[in-house]
Chains A and B, each alone.
Chain A
Amino acid sequence: MENILEINGLCKSYEGFALRDVSFALPKGYIMGFVGQNGSGKTTTIRSILNMAHPDSGKISVFGLDSRKDSVKIREGLGIVFDSLYLADHLDAKHIEMQLRPFYSDWSREEFFRRLKAFGLPDNKPVGEFSKGMKMKLMIAAALSHNARLMILDEPTSGLDPVARDELLDILTEYIEDEERSVLFSTHITADVERIADFITVLHNGKVWFSGTKDDLAESYVVLKGSEEDLPAAVREKCIGFHGYRNGFEALLPTDHLAGLPGELEHEKASIDEILVYIAKEDKNERASQDTAV
């Protein structure tokens, strides 16, 4: 598989936050869900891809080009959707089209207005008056009009109503149909990722916790439940986000450790949402044990 985006050993530190050795790759023709809690480093990674943030170390390559040296060339092939509109919001879509056209050699005016029509966007109303969903669609229409090969979306569905979210996900699925284009889709709404993503990268505290196919992730972890007394100590150590309560416990367990578990313990497939929750709980547990040690 040819990778459209490759990140290797990306490190970037700010005061109170650091991205540490972030590495993952997105193959051509697929959608990658980029998930993690707020503050896990998703936006910093995206800003680094766009050369808006400068990595301390590591290498980012998009379309086989270096993100620092060839950022202008890279941006010509990117479609970017942020959670808020970055275009002049007092202008209507016609003027926006006039502004953007010269920047892209592949720009198609017909495609832009065809998309506007298809998305039900008026071209004579200031885009600042658009709803959030309409603004997303406008940014997507712009991306599709210059034949972007990689669409990067940073939290596009947060704040969207369910219908608009559904529409957006359909558009993204349609976008990659020709198998030449890819989508990197950052979100903390994991239901969206479960619906459309082929690959998932989970970022936690500035580090990649998992990166692979959605199926691999689903098969790699289970939610384990039962009585604490039935849980062998060796397995207890492997549990992630262990949460004990009066009548038993719940924890996330890598499937590698399922063999030989007592039959009294129940386990079921973990959803992405559950995985994120248990990772966060593990953090909490670690902090609590550090506090106890102190």
Chain B
Amino acid sequence: MSELRKILRYDFISAVPVTGTFCGIALAVCLITALFGVPLGLVSFPLTAVFFASSKELSKSSDVIEGVLPASRNSFIRSKFAELTLSFLAGGAMAVLFYLLSCLKLLTGILPEKLEHSVRAMDGFLDTAGVTMPKLCGIIVIFSAYFCAVIAAAIMVMELCRHKWDTVIMAAMGLATLILLSVFVDKIAELPIRTVIIISAAAFLGSLMISLICCQVTCRISKDLEI
């Protein structure tokens, strides 16, 4: 087993008892509701994000573990970026999958008539607000990609600053996000669906690239830093 896989497994075991059950049940609910035509799976992005946050935070009592376990410093750093990218982008991708599944309305027919009517009425609800479901999916993918990229950059800066400015970095990141989102949400409703899809695909790939670059930079610089 490679060092990276060992660390991912280590973190996964840490997170499962705390957030794993909750996230697992929530995703199962998303899947079941999608079968009935309810696009509840759009919330899978924050769910995987919660799992990511908990996996790293809970995996150790301190950074000392990096000096104890027989794995290189670079593997520990790569694991942080791998977990971040996997959980955020998987969350975005799952949201789309659940949405597509809900479009098929595989089990909607077995619902009682009133409930079935409500489910079908949901489709038109967002349309009237100017945000169609596909557009909402695109927005969610853009969100997850954006957070993935921003958090990757934050991890890089925090590692390189030896966690001395964590609060400041987090606050700055939060503020920038709020400003950007307030501008973005206003504009997005006006964009045609095709543009949203192109932006979301670009954001998805872009965040992958940013995460990879941040990971490489952090590995290169932090090899000389102490634990």
Q: Which residues of A contact B (CB under 8 A)?
A: 47, 50-54, 71-73, 75-76, 80, 82, 84-91, 95, 98-100, 102-104
Contacts and interface: CB of A to CB of B under 8 A. Distances in A.
Given A84-B61, A86-B62, A87-B61, A103 B71 contact: yes
21 contacts: A47-B227, A52-B64, A52-B67, A52-B226, A54-B226, A71-B72, A72-B72, A76-B70, A82-B64, A85-B61, A86-B61, A86-B62, A88-B60, A88-B61, A90-B14, A90-B18, A90-B58, A102-B5, A102-B9, A103-B6, A103-B70
Interface of B: 1, 3, 5-6, 9-10, 13-14, 17-18, 58-62, 64-72, 224, 226-227
Contacts of A103: 6, 10, 69-71
A75 B76 CA distance: 15
Contacts of A54: 224, 226
B80 to A, nearest CB: 16
B65 A87 contact: yes
Nearest to B69: A103
A86 B13 contact: no
Contacts of A82: 64
Contacts of A88: 14, 58-61
Contacts of A53: 226-227
Contact of A89 (B5, B61, B68, B71): B61
B13 A91 contact: yes
A54 B227 CA distance: 9
B65 to A, nearest CB: 5
A155 B192 CA distance: 65
Contacts, number: 73
A26 to B, nearest CB: 19
B174 to A, nearest CB: 27
A86 B68 contact: yes
A163 B38 CA distance: 62
A72 B17 CA distance: 29
A69 to B, nearest CB: 11
B70 A75 contact: yes
A76 B70 CA distance: 5
Contacts of B18: 90
A82 B66 CA distance: 13
B59 A80 contact: no
Given A47-B226, A52-B66, 7 more contacts: A53-B227, A86-B60, A95-B14, A99-B9, A99-B10, A102-B5, A103-B6
Contacts of A91: 13-14, 17
B68 A99 contact: no
Nearest to B57: A88
Contacts of A100: 69
A50 B67 contact: yes
Contacts of A73: 70
A102 B71 CA distance: 11
A47 B14 contact: no
**Residue of B17, B64, B65 contacting most chain A CB atoms (<10 Å):** B64
A50 B13 contact: no
Contacts of A72: 3, 70-72
A100 B59 CA distance: 12
A146 B40 CA distance: 47
Nearest to A89: B61
A102 B70 contact: no
